[in-house]
Structure 1
Amino acid sequence: MKIKCSFLACLIFLPFMSSFAQGVDNKELDSLILVYSNTKLHDTVRINAMDDACSKLIRTNPERAFPVVQRMLKSAGKIKGLKWKARANYQLGLYYAYIGKSDSARHFGHRSRTMYVNADNSLGQSNAANLIANTYYSGDPDSALFYYRESVELDNNAVVYLNMALIHKTKGNFPLALSLIKEALALLKINHDASVESFAYGVIASTHYSLYDFDQAETYYLKQLKLIEKVNDSQGFISVYTNLARLYFDKDDSKQSNVYLAKLLKISKKVNSDHGMASYYETKSRTLLSDGQFEEAKAHAELAIEKYTNVEGEGDVSFMLGILGKAEIGSKQYQLAIKHCTEGLELATINERIGGQELACDCLHEAYKALGQYEKALKFYVLNTKYKDSTYNIENAQKSAQQGMQYDFDKKQLADSLEIVEQNRQTEIEHITDLEKEKRFRVILFAIVGILFLFILFGYRENRRKKKQAVVLNEKNELINKSLHEKEVLLREIHHRVKNNFQTVSSLLKLQSKNVVDKEALRTISEGQNRIKAMSLIHQKLYQNETISAVSFQEYTEQLIKQITSLFSLRELEIEVQANDIELDIDTSIPLGLILNELITNACKYGLCSRDKGKLTVVINKPTGELYKLTVQDSGKGIPKDMDFSNIKSLGLRLVQQLTKQLHGSFNYQYVNGSLFEVTFRDTAYRKEID
């Protein structure tokens, strides 16, 4: 037993969407979030970013969109004028429409429309009227038509014509529906829009379905599916999967019907769509009813009614009550069948659903006949015949309209007057003319679509290639950064341990010196300790710095002078250090640190300790691109004039000379109101080039 549905569900297209649903670019979305989260920016800039983010998220991730819409509504209250308040209310209504809450969507749609009217914004008023019309679509088609007409008067929109065509088709007025489709196609010739093209495919397919031309309906539904697959539009998938599942069911292709039913169930669960689940339960109940599985058919019909009720689809509920009644008759629950079919007949009559009326009357006729109540059975048999006749007349009108869609004109119309024949002939001529125009339009449209497809395919492949490269590059960068971080931690630990080892050696020398009586030996041990401390200080600075590759010599020199002068009894000592912005690597820092240690120790020991006042100056600069210069000057008595620097016996000065050679530099001494030592040297990078 197969139930033919005279109204094929085709989800209304949301005409307030200005472009086809595109996959959200995460980078673009992240940039929008950064903009509207930046409180330093102007309120208008931030709310513009919120509006763009809402438009992208509502179609793909409504849950994530909701807090953004709320934030936009709050921000709009801080801006003068009605523009952004109206837009924020519109976006909130759009959000509720997309999740199936028609009452809330209608409420905010009316608020937005009122604000746009007061602001004299006709385009905004048109969009708000579209939103309101869509909320009335299933339950109150006359109110929907009222607001659609208001919208199209303000903004000539092809999508609104298509939505109006769907309503008139549902009410059985096929000639008017087809004329509205022509209006939409005429607008598409002027302003080509892929989103409207997809919707138009759905409307044309449903029209072919109503004409019982399943092959053509299949062709257009599959075209619509291809467009939807390109952009991964979840609501579009729900619509086309529903229609294909029902189409293949009516073609007796249960295998293909089940394939699309499974896809419909999967996507509906994924996006939590009540309308999608209702469509699934409806089609499944019809399949089960056809297979004689009445109890399971009842269960699915009840679930469909529940879901359609949630989305306020009264017209769909009326049809499902008829399906439920059929399943109850199959289970011999005649009283329940009468109850449900009576409710379905009332709803179908209110919503002008001829298919629902015919199904309810057929069900009531069978139920009363089974109970032996033949008078009532006859009553509903007569009503059923009446609705069938009405359907038959509609089918004749459909066949007349079908002439303009490449089908033979049915000359067996229920007409016997010359006036009607002449009228039909004129209609045929008009449709043939429209057909030729439509053919030209299709050729151009398909050519444009083909070119666009090639561009989109190339862009898609290039985008995928770049994304893959970016993913690989990011993974490599993460590994490199992780490795660098680990090495940096390891180097800091090594420098820390080396510094601790130097301190241990220094402590051991100090303990050893307690058992030494010889003053010369004690002096030598003390000098060794100072050199060890100088090297230890280098490693301490390395692991304490933000960067572990270089040592700041301003801080190092000041700390080294403080460390050395604490060992001598100096009364008043003026210290000057000039080494700003001088940072050296460890291979240069350790020899230079030892040179500084020796020269500062020499100045304190021989030049300054015998004076009441003194001055110690240390300067490190870079006079040329490759050469560094260290100057250590004190105000002491200086080195004896007869000292031969080529045959120095002092271990400290010999050490300075050797370390200077190691640094590819030179060592000079002169007396200028005290000892003045000059050491030139080069850094590691330059020394490696020479070597």
Structure 2
Amino acid sequence: MKYKISLIFTLSFSLFLFSQQETNKLNKAADSIIQNLDKLQTNQERISNLTGFAGKYRYVTDTKKLLDKALEISTDLNQKEFLAQSYYSLGNYYYFNSELDSALIYNEKANDYLKDGDFHFLQAKILNSKGTIYRKKGNVVLAISTMLESKNLMDKIDTLTFTEAEKYQFKGQNLVLNNSLANFYNQMEDYEKAFIYYDNAYEAALKLNAIVNAGVIISNKGESFLNSGHINEAISASERGKELKIEGKAHPRLIANSDLKIGLAYSKNGEYVKALQFLNNAHDYYVDNQLDGKLALALNYRGELFLEQKDYLNAKSDCESSKKLAKEQSDLEAYMNACNCLYKTNKQLNLIEASLINHEDYLKAKDSLFNEKNIKKQTQLEMEYAFKVEQDLQKLEAEKNEKQRKLYLSFAIIGLIIASLLTFLYSKNRSKSKLLATQKNLLEKTVGEKNMLLKETHHRVKNSFQIVSGLLFLQSSTIKDKAASKALQETQNRINSMAVLHQKLYKQDHTSGIDCKDYITALMTDILSSYSLPNIEKKLMVEPIIMDIEVVTSLGLIINELVTNSLKYAFSDEQTNSYIEISLKKNNDDVVLEVIDNGNGISEGSDKKDTLGLSLVRDLSEKINGKISFESLQNTDPKGTKVSIVLNESDIL
């Protein structure tokens, strides 16, 4: 069943268009909604009412019963769209209650129900939430890649047939995306881009008369001002944000969040008395409402304030509590700042060992790119091995000297010397065996760790390609010139072909080669989906041949160029039963790749044309010692084009 916009709109906009009502009767209102569900005509209205109310009140504890009820109804009905909506809303509940791992699990469950349907709007909101979770967990690269994917889905949605209510919801979701992207660029210290996205989101919120939204956005911009060193602007923006939240009668938790940011800004400005007042307000609210994720930040900011005032005991107490909570909440940024605070505080208290431990924890959290823990462990094992060898050699030398001394003293004890010598030889052989076993284990562990680092490298390369692809997509959406936009799309497809390759390398157990069948299947799916041509059938007859990574990289780019060429030029609008066939098989000592379509065919000499795509195909074929040929199937039925590349088996392994 086609998903309806009115059903799926909950968190991404409703969590952002926060409640503008008093919350003192929230629990009673939630009970009333559950009791009056039977008065609603459709299950869609029931699910929307339950999840929408929870999002409206920022997923505070009293709304959990509503989400449980929505999941119960969805499970009884066993309808994918209802289950996806319920799991998605539960994911938002856990996010706003600082349980990031649970939030990610429920978002993944929601996404599992959307794989086979046209649910772009809800999929975009799930990706938005996942990106926010990744950022909170410290993985900014994956966060921004996920958010760009969300924006890509939003841009594909046709709003011409939307009702006014649906358009309002769609604008709200775009508002959320702009704010989220601004937050990411703020964390990446690209403040110029962050300000642009914040301003777009702020103007949209004012046009939608979303007063609380506007307050949250301008508060976030204040944080960006603070990070970029514009402290006075940060104070002004943060205080304006609090005013708008109060005007819109926002939930008290949002007011506490503003107090937290204002307190930090005043602290950075050296106005410690004002800063402490705001930080204490935020701290007390988070304690009363058991919001451990936010409490970790409040304790950290207050600890740094005490540190600046040279009140080292209070600074140590607050930062230790912050470090513990941040670790429990998997908040990498808060954990890193707490470690840095404890490093400086313990240093001032002359607690050198504790200071060094926290400084080491700070460095580990700051630079997750390099697996410092594994490197140190490997170094430690190597040092322990070298030390043990030296000890064994010294022991053997001492035993040998003792035996010789006893031999010269008296022939009467020759029997004892012989026995001692036999014992020594046995001990020596046993020691050598142990040393060899230890060395073997060390080498196996080292190889395993290096393989793990290599797989991590492929994973990071894949993420980098995805980011570049996303940035190219964003750039192409702003270009009016069709030729330039088309060129950017072709470049994006080439990058995607390499990203798919590194994704396969990351997931497989070995890294010496790659199975062409899995890779070509995934690549074809990716290419066809990017052109949105559902009438083109793909035919794959690919044998599971393991090839060298460099060869597969060239083949992937060649297939991308040839398939893209067919999609753009081979088929007419009137043609039916269109297909593109890819064959890869062994033929004696050769491996033959064939790309065939049943389109219009190519004219004589087309393989000699100096186009970028065909030039790239020829150059790549030459690079892997392949023999390429073009064949027009004008005299066959069906007509079409066949491109063949013959590789020697010795060149691909």
Structure 1 length-normalised TM: 0.48
What's the CA shift string for 1:323-347, capped at 9, x where partnerless?
Answer: 1111222333322222221111011
Q: In the superposition, relative to structure 1, how do residues 435 and 68 fare at CA in structure 2: closer, same or farther (>3 Å)?
A: same
**What's 1:17 paired with?**
10
CA contact (8 A) 1:344 1:357 kept: yes
What's the CA shift string for 1:283-323, capped at 9, x where partnerless?
Answer: 22222222223343233222122334466542222122111
Query: 1:216 and 2:228 equivalent?
Result: no
Q: Take 1:419 and 1:142, find their aligned partners in 2: how far apart are those partners?
A: 23
Q: Take 1:100 and 1:257, find their aligned partners in 2: how far apart are those partners?
A: 25
CA contact (8 A) 2:100 2:329 kept: yes
What's the CA shift string for 1:108-163, capped at 9, x where partnerless?
Answer: 20121111111223322222222211111141001111111122223442011011
**What's 2:179 paired with?**
202
Three-state SS of the structure 1 residue aligned to 2:368 is helix
Q: In the superposition, relative to structure 1, how do residues 289 and 126 fare at CA in structure 2: closer, same or farther (>3 Å)?
A: same
Which one of the candidate residues 126, 129, 140 is aligned to 2:87?
129
Matches within 5 A, 1:591-610: none
The residue type paired with residue 92 of structure 2 is N
**What's 2:363 paired with?**
385
Q: Take 1:281 and 1:56, find their aligned partners in 2: how far apart are those partners?
A: 19
Matches within 5 A, 1:486-505: none
Q: In the superposition, relative to structure 1, how do residues 427 and 170 fare at CA in structure 2: closer, same or farther (>3 Å)?
A: closer
Matches within 5 A, 1:95-244: 97-100=55-58, 102-138=60-96, 139-155=98-114, 156=119, 157-191=123-157, 193-244=170-221
Three-state SS of the structure 1 residue aligned to 2:189 is coil
Deviation at 1:231, TM superposition (A): 0.6
Structure with bigger gyration radius: 1
The residue type paired with residue 178 of structure 2 is Y
Three-state SS of the structure 2 residue aligned to 1:357 is helix
Query: 1:335 and 2:328 equivalent?
Result: no
Q: Take 1:20 and 1:385, find their aligned partners in 2: how far apart are those partners?
A: 37
Q: Which moved more, 1:302-311 or 1:337-346?
A: 302-311
Q: Take 1:20 and 1:219, find their aligned partners in 2: how far apart are those partners?
A: 20
CA contact (8 A) 1:238 1:276 kept: no
Q: Take 1:57 and 1:369, find their aligned partners in 2: how far apart are those partners?
A: 45
Q: Take 1:331 and 1:325, find their aligned partners in 2: how far apart are those partners?
A: 10
Deviation at 1:228, TM superposition (A): 0.8
CA contact (8 A) 1:100 1:274 kept: no
CA contact (8 A) 1:16 1:131 kept: no
**What's 2:500 paired with?**
none
Matches within 5 A, 1:457-606: none
Q: In the superposition, relative to structure 1, how do residues 107 and 378 fare at CA in structure 2: closer, same or farther (>3 Å)?
A: same
The residue type paired with residue 208 of structure 1 is Y
Three-state SS of the structure 2 residue aligned to 1:390 is coil
The residue type paired with residue 147 of structure 1 is Y
Deviation at 1:164, TM superposition (A): 0.4
CA contact (8 A) 1:315 1:351 kept: yes
What's the CA shift string for 1:501-528, capped at 9, x where partnerless?
Answer: xxxxxxxxxxxxxxxxxxxxxxxxxxxx
CA contact (8 A) 1:105 1:132 kept: no
Q: Take 2:469 and 2:140, find their aligned partners in 1: how far apart are those partners?
A: 19
Q: Take 1:248 and 1:392, find their aligned partners in 2: how far apart are those partners?
A: 30
Q: In the superposition, relative to structure 1, how do residues 154 and 238 fare at CA in structure 2: closer, same or farther (>3 Å)?
A: farther
The residue type paired with residue 292 of structure 1 is G
CA contact (8 A) 2:222 2:234 kept: yes
Deviation at 1:278, TM superposition (A): 2.0
The residue type paired with residue 37 of structure 2 is A
CA contact (8 A) 2:319 2:341 kept: yes
CA contact (8 A) 2:245 2:255 kept: yes
The residue type paired with residue 191 of structure 2 is F
CA contact (8 A) 1:62 1:99 kept: no
Q: Take 2:306 and 2:16, find their aligned partners in 1: how far apart are those partners?
A: 45
CA contact (8 A) 2:299 2:321 kept: yes
Matches within 5 A, 1:24-35: none
What's the CA shift string for 1:167-195, capped at 9, x where partnerless?
Answer: 11221223322332232122112215322
Which one of the candidate residues 14, 37, 57 is aligned to 1:76?
37
**What's 1:26 paired with?**
none
Query: 1:268 and 2:245 equivalent?
Result: yes
CA contact (8 A) 2:234 2:265 kept: no
The residue type paired with residue 323 of structure 1 is Y
Q: Take 2:73 and 2:173, find their aligned partners in 1: how far apart are those partners?
A: 28
CA contact (8 A) 1:274 1:311 kept: no
Structure 2 length-normalised TM: 0.51
Q: In the superposition, relative to structure 1, how do residues 428 and 174 fare at CA in structure 2: closer, same or farther (>3 Å)?
A: closer
Q: Gaps spanning 5+ residues in structure 2: where?
A: 1-6, 159-169, 373-452, 481-653
Query: 1:321 and 2:299 equivalent?
Result: yes
**What's 1:258 paired with?**
235
Q: In the superposition, relative to structure 1, how do residues 80 and 177 fare at CA in structure 2: closer, same or farther (>3 Å)?
A: closer
**What's 1:441 paired with?**
477
Identity %: 16
Deviation at 1:432, TM superposition (A): 4.4
Q: In the superposition, relative to structure 1, how do residues 324 and 423 fare at CA in structure 2: closer, same or farther (>3 Å)?
A: closer
The residue type paired with residue 145 of structure 1 is L
Query: 1:356 and 2:334 equivalent?
Result: yes
The residue type paired with residue 176 of structure 1 is L
Deviation at 1:218, TM superposition (A): 0.5
CA contact (8 A) 2:13 2:176 kept: no
